Amino acid sequence: MKTWQKKHAAIFMLALIMLATVGIGQAYAETAILRTTSSHLFQPILEEVVVKDGKLIGTAIVDTQYSDDVIFTFEGKTAKEGYGQLKVIVSGEEQDVVTNVKTKKREIVTTTEGTVTMEVKEIDFSIPLSELPVSSGNYFMQVGDGASDSTQRLFSQAISIELPVLAAAFPGELSLTKSGSIQITLQFSSIYENAKFYLVAEDSNEEVAKRISFNPKSPKISSDELDLEPGVYKLYLMMVSNGESVRSNQISFVVPATSVTPAPNGKYFPGEVSIGEDGTIQLTLTITSLYEKAKFYLVILNEEDEVVKRISISKSSRISAASLNLQPGSYQILIEMVLNGEKYYSESVNWKLPAVTATGLFPIPSGQSFPGGIKVNSNGTITITLEWQTSYLAYTVYLVVLDNYGNIVKRVPLDLNKKTLSIKDLQMLTGGYYVVIEIADPNSGLSARSVPTFVTVNTSGKIIIFIDGQLQVFPKPPVEVNGRTLVPLRAIFEALGAKVEWDEATQTVTATKDNNTIKLTIGSKVAYKNGEKIFLDVPAQLYNGDTTMVPIRFVSEALGAKVGWDAYSNAVIITNQ
């Protein structure tokens, strides 16, 4: 195992809550509330948030003790909209977007001290839409407080806002072609005749490394013109008109060292992993023609450098901790690329997952200590168990469905008199999901969750395959032969990290992973693992003359993976050991 570069990142546990209508659209919490200390008595509040005259206007209310550092976060409801953060008060200094600050007394109800009167700050803000860290779309917005001498921060309940397309939005977009060249697309018109256009490259420290002007009527810039040092950069377009600037979308751009081809490691890897302020894992990939046949995975290692999670990814994305079902502790996170049977790795980051325990703010613990759980039955139903107490009467109970990245797919109120739900009634698309029980306090927004349970849904009528919770799509799907389910060997072995080679002359497949070598000949019921025989239920065979198909049990015996079969959803479930 390589030596991982250490980076410090503060990670906070996530909890999801519901809210009534506030400001624009429906305000309900389907995003994170960060809680780091029980010393907070007052949870920040966002109120009266509206879009007016090209500005986002509203009021944030925070505890005076934690008003030295205040930020806004914007989390898109889809991966396309992304995530952004805006600092409102930094080390006690109000930023330009703050229009007024008033100190007031306010009565609040706590779960530990009853009703108390405390001092809060009402922060009025007015933010030009062009200065927001996100573009148009639907977002969850939160305000987070903090003290200058502390890393403690508490976030408000989330509200739902819709940001319109700006009249002064950038008239185009920036992208990379499959060959890795820069592509600029502009919808140029006469209103931009006096504007100036630039391509800007920022380095990993968010400092401008290059700024090149270009003709908007002929927007062409080659990679050579940038003349950048090897490294990972962020590129965006900028239009300056009448003293104001507007930015385009942002993309990642990798400049490899001249000696590194075609698949670099470390800082020249075509992607990077980072931890967001809200505790989510953020993955950025730059997939050019060099890597279009590569497979990418998020890899999580424990303190003994053992792989505990390996999740397939296909594009830049964000993954919350909610769906990972990991024990509290310290981990390393990185991206793995498998190309032509070889493995390459990005730089890693440190991640500390704290234990979830009951606090003075909310008496119900999450995780292993949660007073209940979920069982997925073979007949396509979900059984709920919950040790209900009379002290929970003020709370609401939900079944929350998460996708593989921890995003909420559904939140269904539970009737405690009905202990069983049908998966079919949830009306979900084909895929792998995680289900949890959530107990939420509608007044404080606090909540607790059970351990996630994996559930598969299949509406396709065909056999489907999951590897580490991720639905796989292969050129050749599984088939059934003589009552046995056969799966494509190369696709699954490579997804599990093995290198696969084919000898046409002998019709033999050789797969290697770690210190294991597996040999298999078409038409034979006998395979060999490190020289020892493995007997197959049915012989390996070529399907349509080009795909080696093997019984699913062989995957387990050859690579040590855990293989299961869900008869209800007609699904093969493979877990990498």
CATH code of the domain in which 101 resides: 2.60.40
> How many structural domains does the chain have?
5
Taking only the tens place, the pLDDT of each residue in 333-382 is 999 888 766 778 888 899 888 765 544 577 888 888 899 999 999 999 99
Residue 514 lies in a domain: yes
Residue 38 lies in a domain: no
Question: From CA 245, how far away is CA 249, in angstroms rounded?
Answer: 13
Q: Do 54 and 153 share a domain, yes or no? A: yes
The mean of the pLDDT values for the chain is: 80
Percent of the chain topping pLDDT 90: 17
Close Cβ partners of 53 (under 8 Å, ≥ 6 residues apart) = none
Provide the b/e sequence for 308-328 (b: ≥16 CB within 10 Å). Answer: bbbbbbeebbbbbbbbbbeee
Query: What is the reported pLDDT for 264?
Result: 65
Residue 136 lies in a domain: yes
User: Is the pLDDT score of 14 beyond 50?
Assistant: no
CA angle 341, 272, 298 (to 5 degrees): 55
CB 440 within 8 A of CB 447: yes
Q: Do 192 and 289 share a domain, yes or no? A: no
Residue 150 lies in a domain: yes
CA angle 189, 191, 193 (to 5 degrees): 80
Question: From CA 269, how far away is CA 262, in angstroms rounded?
Answer: 10
- Half-sphere exposure (Cβ direction) of 339: Cα atoms closer than 13 Å: 21
Question: From CA 178, how far away is CA 102, in angstroms rounded?
Answer: 53
Q: Do 436 and 492 share a domain, yes or no? A: no
Residue 191 lies in a domain: yes
Distances, alpha carbon 394 to alpha carbons 88, 110, 195, 438, 538, in Å: 35, 14, 58, 14, 58
Tell me what the mean pLDDT of segment 81-102 comes to: 87
Residue 3 lies in a domain: no
Domain that holds residue 321: 271-353
Q: Do 58 and 135 share a domain, yes or no? A: yes
Strands 547-551 and 541-543: what pairing?
Answer: antiparallel
User: Is the pLDDT score of 26 beyond 70?
Assistant: no
Tell me what the mean pLDDT of segment 70-74 comes to: 91
Q: Do 244 and 331 share a domain, yes or no? A: no
Q: Do 525 and 505 share a domain, yes or no? A: yes
Assign 488 to helix, strand or coil.
strand
Q: Do 302 and 372 share a domain, yes or no? A: no
- Residue ending a domain, choose from 457, 488, 504: 457
pLDDT band at 386 (very low <50, low <70, confident <90, very high): very high
Q: Do 176 and 149 share a domain, yes or no? A: no
Query: What is the reported pLDDT for 485?
Result: 85
Tell me what the mean pLDDT of segment 96-103 comes to: 92
Residue 567 lies in a domain: yes
DSSP 155: B
Taking only the tens place, the pLDDT of each residue in 203-255 is 877 788 888 988 888 888 877 778 888 777 889 998 887 667 788 888 888 77
Assign 196 to helix, strand or coil.
strand
Predicted TM-score (pTM) of the model is: 0.51
Taking only the tens place, the pLDDT of each residue in 120-140 is 899 999 998 878 888 777 888
- Residue ending a domain, choose from 231, 255, 279: 255
Q: Do 146 and 251 share a domain, yes or no? A: no
What phi, psi does 312 have (nearest 5°)? -70, 135
Tokens standing for 461? Answer: 């009528």
CB 544 within 8 A of CB 488: no
User: Is the pLDDT score of 20 beyond 70?
Assistant: no
Query: What is the reported pLDDT for 113?
Result: 61
- Residue ending a domain, choose from 457, 492, 521: 457
Taking only the tens place, the pLDDT of each residue in 159-208 is 889 887 655 567 888 887 766 678 888 887 766 777 888 999 988 777 88
Residue 362 lies in a domain: no
Q: Do 280 and 322 share a domain, yes or no? A: yes
User: Is the pLDDT score of 16 beyond 60?
Assistant: no
pLDDT band at 115 (very low <50, low <70, confident <90, very high): confident
pLDDT band at 267 (very low <50, low <70, confident <90, very high): low
Q: Do 158 and 176 share a domain, yes or no? A: no
* CATH of residue 275: 2.60.40.10
User: Is the pLDDT score of 384 beyond 90?
Assistant: yes
Q: Do 227 and 328 share a domain, yes or no? A: no
CB 152 within 8 A of CB 37: yes
